[in-house]
Structure 1
Amino acid sequence: MPRVHLQSGRQNSMKCPFCGTDNVPGESFCSNCGGYLDSSAPSSVSSGGTSNTATIVSTAPTTGGGLASSGSLIPNARLQNGRYVVEQVLGSGGMGTAVLAKDTRVSNKRVVIKELVSDSKDPVQFQEDVRNFEREVDTLANLDHPLIPTVTDSFQEGTRYFMVQEYAPGENLETHIDRLGKAMPEREVLTYAVQVLDILDYLGQQTPPIVHRDIKPANIIIGSKDKRAHLVDFGIARADAAKNAKKQTAALGTPGYAPPEQYQGKADARSDLYALTATMHHLLTNRDPRNYGPFSYPLARSVNPQVSPETEQLLTKALTIDPSKRFQSAAEMRQRIEQILRDRFNMTPDTSMYMFSTSGSMTMPAVSTTPAPATPPSPPIQNRGQQQGAQPTFPPPRVVPPPPQRRSGSGLGRGLAILVGVVVLILLVIFITPFLFKGNSANLSTSSPTALPVATQTAEVKSNGIGVQQINNELIGLSDGTVAFDTNRPDGNLKVQAAQKLKSGDSSTAQSLLHSALAQDTNDAEALIYLENQHVMNSGSPYVTLVIGATLTGQNKDVVQAGRDALQGAYVVQKEFNANNGAKLNGTLVRVLIANAGSSSTNVAQAARQIVQFSQTDKTLIGVMGWPYSGYAQNAIGVLSAAKIPMLSSTASSDDLTGASPYFFRVAPPDSVQGQVGAQYALNKLQAKNVAVFEDQSDAYSRSLADAFTQAYQKLNGNVMGPYQYTKGDQASVTSQLQNLANESTVPDVIYFSGYSGDVALLMNQVAANSKFANTKILGGDALYNLGGYGNSSSSAGFDRLRFTSFAYPDEWEVLGYGKQKPGFFGEYSAIFDPHQQHKGGYGFSRPSYNVMLGYDATLTLIKAAGNVVSAGKKTFSGDDIRQALLNINGGNAVQGVSGQVSLGQDGNPVDKEVVILYVDAHGLTHMENQSGVGKFLVNS
């Protein structure tokens, strides 16, 4: 729909511009028809005959080809022998003129009539326009969704074609945001997006699926009565049979909202998701994409800081140029938004909200610390887009029951059917209930564990520090098995039940449940650790306790995966040391606790405080292995160091951590080392004289690594171009900076990309497509290690340009010629996590990731340090004892890790740690260069 502006006129009443009804001053919507009442510019309504009219001026750009008005659809015009009487011209767009009319045969019910308008003089083109119009009629006539206006009639008068639809009174989102003059609150935008996604999910389930192809604010109307998002204007919708067709239909849509593939005639359901996301970006930032270059969307938080990081991440993903990297279905995207609404706004809509929600209604996950409220509570003030008391004039979204289903048959028949159903239900309860409860207590111990009800987890912290707090809907704290963190996986419910049983003292049932969990999910290290802990606690043997700092909750998949990897590496060590009754540790076993900090580094302090609290009551603690990220480790250091608790991180690499605390150590070398390795490789191996550096100054890792590379390369007398500043996750910024580089007279031999795999994939494609960079290579750090390879990143070439440094590689032993000396870790890993050999060669099952390898080495080093203290005959030990033992791990006492030797220096950094160079082949697969890195791999070499 085009923008509409009501001309100002008489000021003494609030007359509806649609139906002329007098309304109480101050009302926003008409009490009769529900039309929007602009209090700042009241309608000019004049009486004439039996009709009231209002002047409307169309100012918005239109969609599609040229426009021509037939001049026949004017107020008081009659169609179908007087059945339909036109009241109001709503506007023109695409190939149609829309009017508001009343149906005199159905109590003057208001309807929208759309007439085909074509300015084509070519008879062939006109017939094509007619076919498109008829296709829209056919498409809408076969749809039955409460948020899509239903077609009630269609007819032809001479050479004129008409379609009649239900009238959805309300305000479209384009008019609304223009009137509002600022960004809409995030909660409103997400709520409306969920409703539109429900429509798209429904359209995708049609045979064949239907693609709307023109989603934009103007085509989403918020109903004045139900306050829900209605999708209109299916004028260019198509049934998506393109997968089996040789060629798709011509590209249509609205610039600024339509995705790139639509201009190539390749639109599918993911194209609608892109357009909806562009609409969301517009509403959340008040930045109209039609006023800027195509496919350019700055990070939402850079325009509107009130937007949450979670929503910004969602927008970034869904606005990706490559459709394969977007959400692949409306159901998937809707599920993610619903999660944000739950986590950030504590909003749990009624599951009856979506009548066609066949892909899954909005339900709370199995792990819950509080019962879901009956109605969505107001979010905390700090999460709102507006200050308290500043209520929007636009009605906020609310949960409403769905409109009544269309039914046939008499009310008496339905009443009898309901009565019969109630009687049958009562009889079932009377006769079956005794059998359900007979011998129930016995069945609990003999039935399958999955038959147990799903237990909830209580947010509480005991005096010994064990327990969790709920922070932003994540369970943060310390668990000995009485809380399950990683529940968003196939065995999640069983782990929750096991934790509840263990908390009540029923270790036997807890172990049975954990075994059942592992039968479903063989590579779940959390379940394995809790199960092993029960062996330790029931053995009667002495033990030491190790805490793993992990990141197992939240929506960032990479962060959760890093936590899972850390646990896998730690569990293999725990299993090794507990074999043969702890023979490797003088008969002492290893118990592992998990400290979860979740999706935010700000949660680390809470988890660290609980570790300190635990250490005050349990003297078996030897230290903390973790956290995997520099920001997390930085926030934990102060708390743990004050209590003299040693911490050994596996992968935190920021230079800021060097010498940060006498109690902090790490296995991975700092960024300064891999920056130096990269600089030497660029100069000596790639023969680069000019290197362009790309970095994100706002990202600590990117900035640290870029600085390290730049300094090392300049010391080698290399020429550094830039740095070229891009923003992580913002593809447009990468494209823009690459264009700036292309405009330089000097052609770089190498682009040093200090960033992450998701962004470098785009860079590779664009570099390969630019002839100026025909011989340019791409180099970077360990964050470019994409475990899945780059084969699916794009259809473009250029993979074999990429090189990057890494701290570990699973085939490193063979590449270096040490295959016969390869430690048993690799065989143990596969046997533990892929016991049935169903995932041969798969990361996380039979092939360890580099994070797993470094987690293993960090855990191994910490336990060996504790073993040295125990071997010295100490029955009790302090944090200073473990710290000194870690400092003694060097030289001839270095630990042989699976990622190379581990030798620790006084500043906490590893000494002479192995760093390798990996490269990507033309198929997107990763390999290691032989003897390409630096460091000492074997302790005895």
Structure 2
Amino acid sequence: MECPYCNAVNRDGVRFCNNCGKPLPLVPVSTAGQPAAATNTTGATSRSLTPGSRLQGGRYIVKKILGQGGMGAALLATDIRLDSKAVVIKELISDNTDPAQLQEDVRNFKREVATLAHLDHPLIPNVTDHFQEGSRYFMVQEYVEGENLEERMDRVKQPMKEREALGYASEVLDILDYLSQETPPIVHRDIKPANIIVGTKDKRAHLVDFGIARADVVRNVQRKQTSALGTPGYAPPEQYQGNADPRSDLYALAATLHHLLTNRDPRDHPPFTYPPARALNPQLSPEIEKVLSRALINEINQRYQSAAAMKKDIDDILLKRFGVSGNVSSYTLGTSGAIGAAGAASAANAPRVPYQPARIQPASRPSPPTPPPAVPYPPPQVGQGNWQNIPPYAPVSVGSRPPQQPQRKSNTRRNLLLLILVVLLIGAAFFAIPYFSTHPFGQSSNPGSGSATTVPITTPLPANGLGSIKAPDGEQIGISDGTVAWAVSGPGGINKTEAANRLKTGDAVAAQSLWRSALASDSGDAESLIYLENQRVLNAHNTSNTPYITIVVATMMTGDNASVGHDNVQGAYIAQKEFNDSSQLPGGTLVRLLIANSGNDKQYANTVAQQIVLLAKSDPTFVGVMGWPFSSRAQVAVDTLARAHIPMISQTASSDSLTRISPYFFRVAPPNKRQATLGAKYAEQVLKAKTAVMFVDPADPYSQSLAQYFSAQFTADGNKILATENYTIGQKGHAAIPQLLKDALSKNPDAIYFSGYAADISVLLSNLPTSGQYANLPILGGDALYELNYPLSARAGFKHLRFTAFAYPDEWDILNLTAQKPKFFTDYSSAYNPNNQHPGGMYGYTRASANVILSYDAMLSILKASNIVLTKNIGLSPDGLQKALQQITGNNALQGVSGQISFGPDNDPTNKAIVVLSVDQNGFIHLISVEGCFLVNQCK
């Protein structure tokens, strides 16, 4: 597919241009299981080859075109010389007009033919013929009749049984072991479900589409770079730098296996991010989780070093858990099966050295074109409700920051470049989707986890509050001082786990070294940075008796909302580091942060709150809690903390039911009444809506209060709520949403107000009419719609969205306040982009998400309040912190990154700034208005 912005040719099926990073037009993608490209629209087509066409003197009769792309077309044909046997014919299609470049394309095609012609494995389709007709070149392969695994997953829409999936994986690993033994080793480079066909006759997994196999196939990188990069979601980081070797195919196979076992399509999520498979499919064995964790490590030298070693582990699971032996009757007949793998596994455990295959390095990728200079816009009017006078704002081009994803130095210079490239590939997602956090913002995508039927936790809590316990769903929850590593599913996870183990034994030096190694894999890993900073604090205390205070960051570091926890600790660390580096607290007092994880179930927040109470009793340096980010968790925890006189300040919990819930509860995000009222004003003043239908889950505090206040304001202004569609948040309620939408549209509303979460509105967006009177129906909502993790099916409906939010990363610039921007912005980039390895505007490294900003502001409030107490030369206690927080009001208001922070008598922020955002036809975010006090005591 040709990019409409820079004219670079991209591999079909990708959503973003690999050259400029901008979104590509949505077109149907073929899922044909044969070695074919998806449908292309560049115009370089095989015009004369239609069903019935004959080739090679009539020997081959074309039956249908399986697909075609920028470099080739694949045709299903019959070979009349072989009793009309079905074959696949691949034709070279080149849009090059330059004779030299055309010859290069021909040489590459012939090289592919030669590569495949010399392969001899029963699960790789053989090349049976190749020929030239005029200026056209063709290759003939065996046709594998069957269903590819992508078609299978699309058909059944549920995870594959572990035994079946491991059987296919074992067979593919046999193929990969064979390919790795070629001289030079052959790298497939595009392992994914669509390229694995289960034969109808033999029921075995066949590997197809070797079009980008071997490093020297692609020379003209400008034109064919996407082919060399493989498929986002499956391809490993090093492949985006051009450094693929046989171990790269093992990563892609593991990503494929994760997809099969969980039914989670990695193309719908940030790359290099795979939640624990058992969290998505509890029926899976712990052994396969271990295999996936090892195979999906971003650092190439830390994952499996051979297909044989990985196959042995797969075959062991098949034998021990299912009583079946791995497939040793295939090509290698034990070389990569149970016998031969034993030696390979031993070799895999030997000291690792960089893999050095004998292959030709591809040409270097040219730099993308320089983006046009940003056009300045006049600032929006603050607080005036003058909606029409504010121009749309197109942010600086950014790359997406996948949670815990990138590769850094070690081979870090090489691997960090790969991340820059891959994130740019996916990166323009920020322009194609409503996203200013790579993670759920404000509320959970599944906030209602947990209910009255939650299994109670019976495990005794640690006496001093520190440590983890196993929750009923199997995840670890609790409070960590570094002796527990929470975020271990991403790059650096093995190092972090080992660091925790070393710290438990008292080996702090080794732990610090391991945390630094983890940061070499992901410089945005705030958890490791916090533990390193804590060691510095403790060293200063032990050697110089430097005083310190302890604050707990309470969030979700595991489970469905782990990405929220990632943002929370990123914001908290910047505040900790700023105060420690510049000795902002009196007497040189330093800040130590502990990380509390309440996991996937909202009820676990109460258990962790009980641990915090135990911590407060045993640690005299403890002063308070920053968290929880979700209203449902905050409500569960607040009573336990309040009874112990422990202050808690939330960054984003916004349910109105939390107002005045306790004198010890504070928040920097305003209650829902503010944003719902603002949404109603926007609906009537800008959208001219006189009628609306509301979607609400009355059992969810966030959804209920948001809908209540939208309805109150909307009807008070003389408008009408035509109907209220009651839905249930989470997966269990999704099936009913299409029918509820149908009923809503039958009321003929001017707008829909969806009071809920991105995961739920995704179903509604996927079912919206694309033509007729509702093709442009506006859909409004609150901050919980501000996410990236929308499935592909919902993204065509983004243009309908308008939503309120509590922070926007570009507010300072849009309001012409660039000269007054807080130090936070430079400190953020310095912390998470220490070697300038990431481009500007890249979320998670050089650009902070809204959730990070609000977490920073919450921690800043705690530290400013601590300063108030310590300045008086009195000891700081939780009660003292609570009283000091109440003093942040009026003339003592605090300037936060998200706006003024001034707590009212109810401990809610007074007139806190809120933004209204919309999404245009092209998926671009527009800031419509900023309402409230952005600068301290400058409210309009």
TM-score (norm 2): 0.57
Tell whether 2:855 aligns with 1:904.
no
Tell whether 2:724 aligns with 1:739.
no
Letter in 1 for 2:911: D
Aligned twin of 1:578: 580
**For residues 842 and 238 of structure 1, do their structure 2 counterparts lie closer, same or farther at Cα, with a shift above 3 Å needed?**
closer
Matched residue SS, 2:85: helix
How is 1:280-679 mapped onto 2 (pairs within 5 angstroms)? Answer: 325=268, 338-340=277-279, 347-348=286-287, 398-405=322-329, 463-471=463-471, 472-539=473-540, 540-554=545-559, 556=560, 559-580=561-582, 582-679=583-680
Aligned twin of 2:936: 938
Aligned twin of 1:921: 920
Deviation at 1:597, TM superposition (A): 1.4
Letter in 1 for 2:570: Q
Aligned twin of 2:387: none
Letter in 2 for 1:856: Y
The answer to whether the 8 A contact 2:277-2:289 is kept is: no
The answer to whether the 8 A contact 2:278-2:285 is kept is: no
Q: In 2, Cα distance between the equivalents of 1:560 and 1:203?
A: 36
Aligned twin of 1:224: none
Letter in 2 for 1:871: T
Q: In 1, Cα distance between the equivalents of 2:290 and 2:876?
A: 56
The answer to whether the 8 A contact 1:522-1:834 is kept is: yes
Larger RCO, structure (CA 8 Å, separation 6 or more):
2
**For residues 613 and 351 of structure 1, do their structure 2 counterparts lie closer, same or farther at Cα, with a shift above 3 Å needed?**
closer
Aligned twin of 1:857: 857
Letter in 2 for 1:740: D
Q: In 1, Cα distance between the equivalents of 2:825 and 2:469?
A: 37
The answer to whether the 8 A contact 1:203-1:210 is kept is: no
Letter in 2 for 1:827: T
CA deviations 1:18-66 (Å, max 9, x no partner) are: xxxxxxxxxxxxxxxxxxxxxxxxxxxxxxxxxxxxxxxxxxxxxxxxx
Higher Rg: 1
The answer to whether the 8 A contact 2:628-2:651 is kept is: yes
**Range with greater deviation from structure 2 (199-208 or 695-704):** 199-208
Q: In 2, Cα distance between the equivalents of 1:144 and 1:357?
A: 29
Q: In 1, Cα distance between the equivalents of 2:332 and 2:572?
A: 63
Q: In 2, Cα distance between the equivalents of 1:238 and 1:940?
A: 64
The answer to whether the 8 A contact 2:698-2:704 is kept is: yes
Aligned twin of 2:754: 753
Aligned twin of 1:367: none
Letter in 2 for 1:502: L
CA deviations 1:621-643 (Å, max 9, x no partner) are: 11000111122222222322221
**Range with greater deviation from structure 2 (918-927 or 780-789):** 780-789
Deviation at 1:363, TM superposition (A): 10
Aligned twin of 1:834: 833
Matched residue SS, 1:546: strand
Deviation at 1:671, TM superposition (A): 1.8
CA deviations 1:343-398 (Å, max 9, x no partner) are: 56654269999xx99999x999xxxxxxx999999xxxxxxxxxxxxxxxxxx972
Q: In 2, Cα distance between the equivalents of 1:210 and 1:532?
A: 41
Q: In 1, Cα distance between the equivalents of 2:83 and 2:667?
A: 65
Unpaired segments of 5 or more residues in structure 2? Answer: 1-75, 91-117, 127-141, 145-151, 177-186, 213-229, 233-257, 305-312, 351-408, 412-458
The answer to whether the 8 A contact 2:159-2:260 is kept is: no
The answer to whether the 8 A contact 2:196-2:208 is kept is: no
Aligned twin of 2:432: none
How is 1:739-818 mapped onto 2 (pairs within 5 angstroms)? Answer: 739-744=742-747, 746=748, 748-760=749-761, 763-764=764-765, 767=768, 769-774=770-775, 776-786=777-787, 796=796, 799-818=798-817
Q: In 2, Cα distance between the equivalents of 1:732 and 1:128?
A: 48
Percent identity at matched positions? Answer: 36
**For residues 214 and 562 of structure 1, do their structure 2 counterparts lie closer, same or farther at Cα, with a shift above 3 Å needed?**
closer
Matched residue SS, 2:553: strand
Aligned twin of 2:445: none
Matched residue SS, 1:683: helix
Q: In 2, Cα distance between the equivalents of 1:783 and 1:854?
A: 14
The answer to whether the 8 A contact 1:494-1:513 is kept is: yes
Deviation at 1:689, TM superposition (A): 0.6
Q: In 2, Cα distance between the equivalents of 1:196 and 1:373?
A: 10
Tell whether 2:666 aligns with 1:715.
no
Deviation at 1:187, TM superposition (A): 10
Q: In 2, Cα distance between the equivalents of 1:640 and 1:136?
A: 70
Deviation at 1:592, TM superposition (A): 0.8
Across the aligned residues of Structure 1 and Structure 2, the Cα RMSD in angstroms comes to 5.7
Aligned twin of 2:85: 134
**For residues 327 and 629 of structure 1, do their structure 2 counterparts lie closer, same or farther at Cα, with a shift above 3 Å needed?**
closer
**For residues 594 and 131 of structure 1, do their structure 2 counterparts lie closer, same or farther at Cα, with a shift above 3 Å needed?**
farther
The answer to whether the 8 A contact 1:147-1:230 is kept is: no
**Range with greater deviation from structure 2 (711-720 or 335-344):** 335-344
Unpaired segments of 5 or more residues in structure 1? Answer: 1-124, 151-162, 166-172, 174-182, 222-228, 243-267, 271-309, 365-371, 378-395, 430-447, 451-458
Q: In 1, Cα distance between the equivalents of 2:81 and 2:694?
A: 56
Q: In 2, Cα distance between the equivalents of 1:129 and 1:648?
A: 76
The answer to whether the 8 A contact 1:474-1:598 is kept is: yes
Deviation at 1:936, TM superposition (A): 5.2
Q: In 2, Cα distance between the equivalents of 1:778 and 1:467?
A: 44
The answer to whether the 8 A contact 1:350-1:399 is kept is: no
Q: In 2, Cα distance between the equivalents of 1:936 and 1:350?
A: 47
**For residues 600 and 793 of structure 1, do their structure 2 counterparts lie closer, same or farther at Cα, with a shift above 3 Å needed?**
same
The answer to whether the 8 A contact 1:803-1:919 is kept is: yes
Aligned twin of 2:868: 868
CA deviations 1:97-116 (Å, max 9, x no partner) are: xxxxxxxxxxxxxxxxxxxx
Matched residue SS, 2:588: coil
**For residues 799 and 606 of structure 1, do their structure 2 counterparts lie closer, same or farther at Cα, with a shift above 3 Å needed?**
closer
**For residues 831 and 340 of structure 1, do their structure 2 counterparts lie closer, same or farther at Cα, with a shift above 3 Å needed?**
closer
The answer to whether the 8 A contact 1:349-1:375 is kept is: no
Q: In 1, Cα distance between the equivalents of 2:770 and 2:562?
A: 35
**For residues 673 and 220 of structure 1, do their structure 2 counterparts lie closer, same or farther at Cα, with a shift above 3 Å needed?**
farther
**Range with greater deviation from structure 2 (673-682 or 651-660):** 651-660
**Range with greater deviation from structure 2 (680-689 or 515-524):** 515-524
The answer to whether the 8 A contact 1:902-1:910 is kept is: yes
Q: In 2, Cα distance between the equivalents of 1:545 and 1:496?
A: 23
Deviation at 1:776, TM superposition (A): 2.7
Q: In 1, Cα distance between the equivalents of 2:896 and 2:332?
A: 73
CA deviations 1:702-757 (Å, max 9, x no partner) are: 3332233222212222111222345655766444333333433x3x2222222333
Q: In 1, Cα distance between the equivalents of 2:522 and 2:687?
A: 44
**For residues 564 and 187 of structure 1, do their structure 2 counterparts lie closer, same or farther at Cα, with a shift above 3 Å needed?**
closer
Q: In 2, Cα distance between the equivalents of 1:639 and 1:614?
A: 13
Deviation at 1:613, TM superposition (A): 1.4
Letter in 2 for 1:618: D
Matched residue SS, 2:804: strand
Tell whether 2:846 aligns with 1:846.
yes
Letter in 2 for 1:544: I
Matched residue SS, 1:709: helix
**For residues 861 and 750 of structure 1, do their structure 2 counterparts lie closer, same or farther at Cα, with a shift above 3 Å needed?**
same
